[in-house]
Structure 1
């Protein structure tokens, strides 16, 4: 600047002009452009994820929703969580010099810990959770010296947690949950004096005790170390954590006493120590008056319940189940104003329950089962109006059911079996709006059965009581009933025909009553029936032949009645595991299927029966025929000549007339069929229609029959499903047909059965599929265990080895994952089961039978179903009491299939009160070794870890809470990690067990298991 202009610098006007010059704004604009260029370059290096397509050169970076900026306009934060990023983090990110916040969670980022972030010198917040990071956390992680928050959870980090992490002295939150750490965690963490939250759960650390030094973390509010392989005792130094609010050490191998001082921490709010080996008494002095939840279940604790628990005015959950506690429940527990959940089942508690229980709080869960309680149930359990369950079975309780429960519409379950209750059931209990399970067996209840039940009641168990009178005609309204057990009562009258229309009935047990008359012969809807027991009654007449058409009937007991006549020929279609027709008045020939030693005791005390097989202790049918009165030989000869003559004349006359008629009729009939193809076809509808004969029949079910049809001379086959109902399509069958066409006609996947075409007429619908040579997984797993007379093909006598089972699991998971996550609109199958998983010639899995499937309106959106559908043993518990469902019902059913693969058991093979899923959870809850649960026929040391992993995955898939179950995408990922990688190697069992989702298999109380039985 020349001297000529210098004097003007002193004038106020010029100073104002200089202040308003745009120079500083040009500098900021250049910085903004630079950072925008950096971000666009970052976007490119991350693979241009579609989720951040809004990033472009025509807008300011600070306007992008994934970007936050400081007051000076520089980028300070990146929010890139759940953006489907699959690339490693590039160094470019640290070119943003003022970056303090970086969130890249819920992506698919591979590789080791991103050391490129060391150049982000101002970084304070780092969240890389829920990705695919592998390898160890580097020893020089302390180069990120400014960190205050770090979340590396739900990845695949291994090795040790380095002690250098303690050099991050500003750290307030350290989250390393759900990884594959197989080394140690350092005691040096105790040096993080500013640490507020520490999460290390769901890791397979080397067996380690809790460092005494952790007591130095004076600011710590959360200590979470569930399933961290902890051993030894809980150190008393934890009582020095004066700021501690949540202590979760559940599911470890901790032992010894609970330190008395823990219950003196003033700020302690949540205490979870369940599923350990803790012993001794619960500390009797409780001064932690802020406690909201206390869970000490599944330990070895003894002594009594502390009286001081009655002082905890904020307590909402008290869970002490599965211990050795004795004595009475302190009356003060009944006064707690906030108590919602009270679980003390499986202890040695006795005495009367607090009579005011539920009066002062809105009680939701109440489980006191398997104790020695006496007296009556508290009258006011449902005073708050939100009680979900009353579970008190296996005690010495007596008296009537509280009348107040009859006004409790929130109830989902009442389980009072194995007590001394008496009197009549309050009317409102039968019809409570949300009632799903009513289990009252083994008491002295009396009165009659109601005409109306709760609309969604699926399990009614009344056996071994004194119920009397008839089954009311109103039984037709019990439409959602799956199990009806009223054995050993005083019920009488005829069995009403209305009971035969219940569409979901699986178990009907009415033995040991006083029923008389004939059985209804018109069985309309018993297509799901698996067990029918009517023994020890006074039933008479002929056995209805329709029973022989029940496709899933496995248990049939009609013994000790007055049935007469012949055993229906239709019984040849049955494939029972148990059959008992003894002690009746039956006559004629025992069906060929049962004429073997497997049914040696099935027909005793029927003096007029005969058999062909001399092994059975019955007269020979041919001998009886010879001994019967014979016609004279001349008469027989004359009858024979006349019969042959008439037959020949009739055939000759009819042949010419009928042949022409059939040709014309065939043309007319063929024209009435419409073919809609979805694949390239090498056959016509005429090929299919001509082969729908009984000789080609390979299966039948509730919605139709299935045929195997040859389509050429080369031996190629298709499977044809015929949906047909008495010449007129039933509305429900029409819906099933439409569902299969809508879904299978539009999707293509290697693990979903291929629909070739559909052929339809007014009265019948045909679905033509690719043929699966090896039929269903169900037959491979369970066919050998059933009676040899069931007609199981010889191929199913082979044991399905574990590698094949594992590949079947992966294939089926691929199909379901595609339906849930990759279809334009997600699809819920609603009937996933082993019989709907078909196997091709190489035993590869295909998902089949989409008659119950539904397409969701939006991904993740729950859908309303008009009625419950599915198969007993596979149905998710929430499906029994709500019609609002989502993909998690398929996850539950697939979990049952996984348990079938791992254990070899059938889906209904629990005890009399449980299914396979309930049984598996009980084994887990009791601490039984998982190895004892696995299929002994294929259990080999080299497969043990892999089978254990699949069993664990089956558990978490069948968790009662839908939100806790993984998605099918996650399930598939877990299974794929156990399959050969690109080098042909497999993950070890330990690596599989440590994958993120398997770490979430948490303990579930037995009451939750029973309420979802």
Structure 2
């Protein structure tokens, strides 16, 4: 026998090899079984979420494993991570998700998941990362949350969690990142959180309803903490001196709190600190600095009440790239050392009392991106090299005392987007390249001493030029037609000459045109139909002559017109009376003849002064009354008789011509055979409607067309007709609005929803015929400046008392409840507002204007829209940010209507700094009595409690978080209680009726707008 066969090693080797092969095959089979099981869990998960389209690729496939799906991460063939963010998931988390035994990370950021905290995840034994932020979770965080013992990251931001933050969170010893900000917590937070020694990030931000508290002394023991954020947390007292013990800290945000005392010098001893926020606090006193803070990269002390000079030591912070000290009371000069910092990118020093010259080295040693020093007392020239690095994006120096020429380097600054240089003393020409800077969108030069001619070309992205109160001269170039994207052009109070070129009327996006106080002459262009977006036109104080173009009266959205102090002559075109003008001035011209009847309004009593040839039929117009002059000589009378005879003959001829043209016009409106579709039994014909489409029957107009009141039979029955047309083939938007109205109103019937009688359609025009509402719309009764005399003859000065307002609220709520709950497919209106609530002869409310409405497949479903549509002041905040809509956006808008009914204010009053919903919330937050907010015209001792409850209901409905708003069912329940006489008698004899108990099951608070801090009215 050979030595090979007799070796024990080789004998064992022959025995082991089959065993290894067998074990490997078993391992492969086990791995395959695990993968099959996990794939089945994923497919079941998708099915439980009703097969969202975002997971359409979750299908079985022989060619690839589920580990290749983008939402899935596997290790060693088993799922360890699920990244399910932004998938529009609308259903709760099922318990079988924990059948993924190796799942360590679950990310569900930004979905629509409802319900309470998902305790089913307790059964995921290896979970270390959980992100549930930006969903609709509500209720308390459970006291048993510490059962998730392996958690290292817990992110619960922007939900509707309420009550206390439980101490059990502090029993998660491995936590490194904890974000529990921006929810509905209304109790306390446990100081034990600051004993989590492994924490690296801690954010409790924007939980303003938590009980007031001081920063606990023990928070400085967090030695590993890099990120600490507690803005708007009702923190009071001082910042602890021992903050310097937190040697790893890089980001500190304590903004929007009522903190007091000085900023401790120890903050600036933090060697690793890269970001400091103490915005909008009540901190006062000086800021002692330690030069050791050489690692500071961001300093943000904005919006405080800081005084004194900017510390010179800031000029030694070599890593500083962001310096924000705006909105304080700082004085003195800007330290020269700051301008030489090599990393500096963002400088914001606006709204202070700074003086002296701007150091000339800004931009020379660092790539500046933003440079803002507006609203100070700075003097001297603008630094020449602000754009030296080629990155300058925003420049704001307005409202200072700067002078000299604008730096030529700005003409080569291709990165510049916004330049606000107004209200200084700059002189000379504008650098030529500045007009053409390819990224420039806004150039504001007003209030300087600049000179030169207007450029022939502009940056293609420029939307706003303001150059008033300068010394620009010359003609407006004919190439102005190439300024296609311009929305605002203000060149008033300059030395411009020549005519208003026809090419200027070709700018379709132009909204504001101000050319007053120049030396313009000649006649105005007659063809101005391209100005579809123009709202303001001011050509006053020039030398313009000739007639006023009649087509000015056809501009669809023009609200301000000033042609005063010119040499205009002839009649005032009657078409101008069709405009909804809030400002009109035609004074100091050579106009003659009678003022059009629709302009004989007290609102325009000073609009026609110093036109000797003008007259009015009413004496209050402050000009001559027509036909009141003294008798002329007999020769003049004879001449007048002859003129009248000739005029009479011409009138006969004109009647014939007008009849022919009118028939042609009607044929133009309906250049194909009209088709009538009825939805009710009718007592009129198609011809009754078409023959009533006359200007004297117009009772309103909107973005889609005019509305007519037409008498359809000898009995005097009237209908309201909305004519949808843009004088050309209907565009896609108008077609969709017409289709939505017909689809919805043609298939539903309810007492409190406007009745669509029929529709008439052809290629270029479409008519919607409704039941006529005698008392017009709610907004005309609530808001005096819009109030009109109803055709029914009700007195113009009649007050809409509280019983009628409550009746209207109840009727509108019933209509919306029906749409949301009783239709075969739920309907969301998307444009609920007081002008879309119509009133019949008995002041019963009917919801109208369904052009933006949408049907939902299921109640509570969120539908994504391609664009935000609706009305300012009524838009729910989540709609503006996400374009996803469900029934809660109607609840928000209806809440605004309730606030209008109770306060008498408008939803977006131009005299207020904020919209009505935010104003009402601020009124409550400031501790003011609700009774002070109520409309004085309607409240008295007998109804103030009832009105207050409806006001509070409006607050509930306008909650920022959709999940905290009531449903229309709950809203209707409250309003029924308010309007029930028996209930009111009972509650007066027993206790005050309050809206809060009726909504207890929804866990609403009296003031539920939790993230008001990030919302502004002009966001929408």
After TM superposition, the score normalised by the length of structure 2 is: 0.74
Structure 2 match to 1:578: 583
Q: Kindly provide the CA deviation profile for residues 502-549 of structure 1, in whole angstroms up to 9, marking residues without a partner as x.
A: 333333333333333333344333344333333333333444444344
- 1:516 is paired with a residue of what secondary structure? strand
Decide whether aligned partners of structure 1 residues 315 and 918 sit closer, same or farther in structure 2, where only a CA change above 3 A counts: farther
Aligned mates of 2:367, 2:866 — CA distance in 1: 28
- Equivalent residues of 2:741, 2:850 under 8 A apart: no
Aligned mates of 1:327, 1:381 — CA distance in 2: 22
Structure 2 match to 1:149: 153
- Equivalent residues of 2:787, 2:796 under 8 A apart: no
2:970 to 980, 985, 992: 980
Structure 2 match to 1:3: none
Matched, 1:412 2:417: yes
- Give the Å deviation of 1:179: 1.6
Q: Kindly provide the CA deviation profile for residues 458-482 of structure 1, in whole angstroms up to 9, marking residues without a partner as x.
A: 3322222222233333333333333
Superposed counterparts of 1:115-514, under 5 Å: 115-203=119-207, 204-514=209-519
Aligned mates of 1:665, 1:617 — CA distance in 2: 38
- Equivalent residues of 2:776, 2:790 under 8 A apart: no
Aligned mates of 1:457, 1:897 — CA distance in 2: 38
Decide whether aligned partners of structure 1 residues 131 and 529 sit closer, same or farther in structure 2, where only a CA change above 3 A counts: closer
- Give the Å deviation of 1:136: 2.4
Aligned mates of 2:366, 2:639 — CA distance in 1: 94
Aligned mates of 1:480, 1:813 — CA distance in 2: 43
Aligned mates of 2:528, 2:13 — CA distance in 1: 105
Aligned mates of 1:673, 1:800 — CA distance in 2: 48
- 1:692 is paired with a residue of what secondary structure? coil
Q: Which moved more, 1:13-22 or 1:511-520?
A: 13-22
Decide whether aligned partners of structure 1 residues 83 and 264 sit closer, same or farther in structure 2, where only a CA change above 3 A counts: same
Structure 2 match to 1:721: 723
- Equivalent residues of 2:448, 2:470 under 8 A apart: yes
1:760 to 759, 762, 766: 762
**Paired residues, number:** 930
Aligned mates of 2:616, 2:315 — CA distance in 1: 71
- Give the Å deviation of 1:218: 0.5
Aligned mates of 2:638, 2:353 — CA distance in 1: 82
Aligned mates of 1:390, 1:776 — CA distance in 2: 49
- Give the Å deviation of 1:68: 6.2
- Give the Å deviation of 1:895: 11
Structure 1 match to 2:694: 693
Structure 1 match to 2:993: none
- Give the Å deviation of 1:152: 2.7
Decide whether aligned partners of structure 1 residues 684 and 556 sit closer, same or farther in structure 2, where only a CA change above 3 A counts: same
- Equivalent residues of 1:780, 1:799 under 8 A apart: no
- 1:279 is paired with a residue of what secondary structure? coil
- 1:621 is paired with a residue of what secondary structure? coil
- 2:283 is paired with a residue of what secondary structure? strand
Aligned mates of 2:647, 2:473 — CA distance in 1: 61
- Give the Å deviation of 1:206: 1.0
1:537 to 538, 542, 545: 542
Aligned mates of 2:362, 2:59 — CA distance in 1: 63
Matched, 1:556 2:561: yes
Decide whether aligned partners of structure 1 residues 979 and 378 sit closer, same or farther in structure 2, where only a CA change above 3 A counts: farther
Decide whether aligned partners of structure 1 residues 181 and 626 sit closer, same or farther in structure 2, where only a CA change above 3 A counts: same
- Equivalent residues of 1:527, 1:702 under 8 A apart: no
Aligned mates of 2:573, 2:164 — CA distance in 1: 70
Decide whether aligned partners of structure 1 residues 768 and 249 sit closer, same or farther in structure 2, where only a CA change above 3 A counts: same
Q: Kindly provide the CA deviation profile for residues 154-213 of structure 1, in whole angstroms up to 9, marking residues without a partner as x.
A: 222222222333222222222212221111212211221111111211212111121110
Superposed counterparts of 1:876-895, under 5 Å: none
Superposed counterparts of 1:827-906, under 5 Å: 904=905
- Give the Å deviation of 1:488: 2.4
Aligned mates of 1:734, 1:257 — CA distance in 2: 62
Decide whether aligned partners of structure 1 residues 790 and 627 sit closer, same or farther in structure 2, where only a CA change above 3 A counts: farther
- Equivalent residues of 1:949, 1:989 under 8 A apart: no
- Give the Å deviation of 1:350: 1.0
Structure 2 match to 1:6: none
- 1:406 is paired with a residue of what secondary structure? helix
- Give the Å deviation of 1:349: 0.7
- Equivalent residues of 1:978, 1:992 under 8 A apart: no
Decide whether aligned partners of structure 1 residues 746 and 265 sit closer, same or farther in structure 2, where only a CA change above 3 A counts: farther
- Equivalent residues of 1:90, 1:116 under 8 A apart: yes
- Give the Å deviation of 1:562: 3.4
- Equivalent residues of 2:177, 2:200 under 8 A apart: yes
- Equivalent residues of 1:41, 1:92 under 8 A apart: no
- Give the Å deviation of 1:111: 4.0
- Equivalent residues of 2:520, 2:543 under 8 A apart: yes
- Equivalent residues of 1:371, 1:394 under 8 A apart: yes
Decide whether aligned partners of structure 1 residues 765 and 242 sit closer, same or farther in structure 2, where only a CA change above 3 A counts: same
Q: Kindly provide the CA deviation profile for residues 618-650 of structure 1, in whole angstroms up to 9, marking residues without a partner as x.
A: 444233275464789999899999999x999x9
Aligned mates of 1:183, 1:909 — CA distance in 2: 37
Structure 1 match to 2:4: none
- Give the Å deviation of 1:941: 5.5
Superposed counterparts of 1:7-156, under 5 Å: 28=30, 32=34, 39=41, 43=45, 46=48, 49-50=51-52, 89=93, 100-156=104-160
Aligned mates of 2:479, 2:39 — CA distance in 1: 75
Structure 2 match to 1:879: none
- Give the Å deviation of 1:377: 1.1
**Structure 1: 5+ residue stretches without partners:** 1-9, 817-821, 852-858, 876-884, 954-969
- Give the Å deviation of 1:418: 1.5
Decide whether aligned partners of structure 1 residues 117 and 433 sit closer, same or farther in structure 2, where only a CA change above 3 A counts: closer
- 2:185 is paired with a residue of what secondary structure? coil
- Equivalent residues of 1:461, 1:483 under 8 A apart: yes
Q: Kindly provide the CA deviation profile for residues 883-934 of structure 1, in whole angstroms up to 9, marking residues without a partner as x.
A: xx99599999x999999987956979479xxx9789999x99xx99999998
Aligned mates of 2:59, 2:477 — CA distance in 1: 72
Superposed counterparts of 1:984-1003, under 5 Å: 985-986=998-999, 991=1005, 994=1008, 998=1012, 1000-1001=1014-1015
Aligned mates of 2:140, 2:555 — CA distance in 1: 59
- Give the Å deviation of 1:393: 0.9
- Equivalent residues of 2:896, 2:916 under 8 A apart: no
Q: Which moved more, 1:467-476 or 1:365-374?
A: 467-476
Decide whether aligned partners of structure 1 residues 355 and 952 sit closer, same or farther in structure 2, where only a CA change above 3 A counts: farther
- Equivalent residues of 1:508, 1:532 under 8 A apart: yes
- Give the Å deviation of 1:375: 0.4
Aligned mates of 1:403, 1:156 — CA distance in 2: 54
Aligned mates of 1:315, 1:196 — CA distance in 2: 23
- Equivalent residues of 1:755, 1:767 under 8 A apart: no
- Equivalent residues of 1:257, 1:278 under 8 A apart: yes
Structure 2 match to 1:878: none
Aligned mates of 2:917, 2:129 — CA distance in 1: 45
Aligned mates of 1:664, 1:512 — CA distance in 2: 43
- Equivalent residues of 2:774, 2:790 under 8 A apart: no
- Equivalent residues of 2:43, 2:59 under 8 A apart: no
- Give the Å deviation of 1:399: 1.0
- Give the Å deviation of 1:123: 4.1
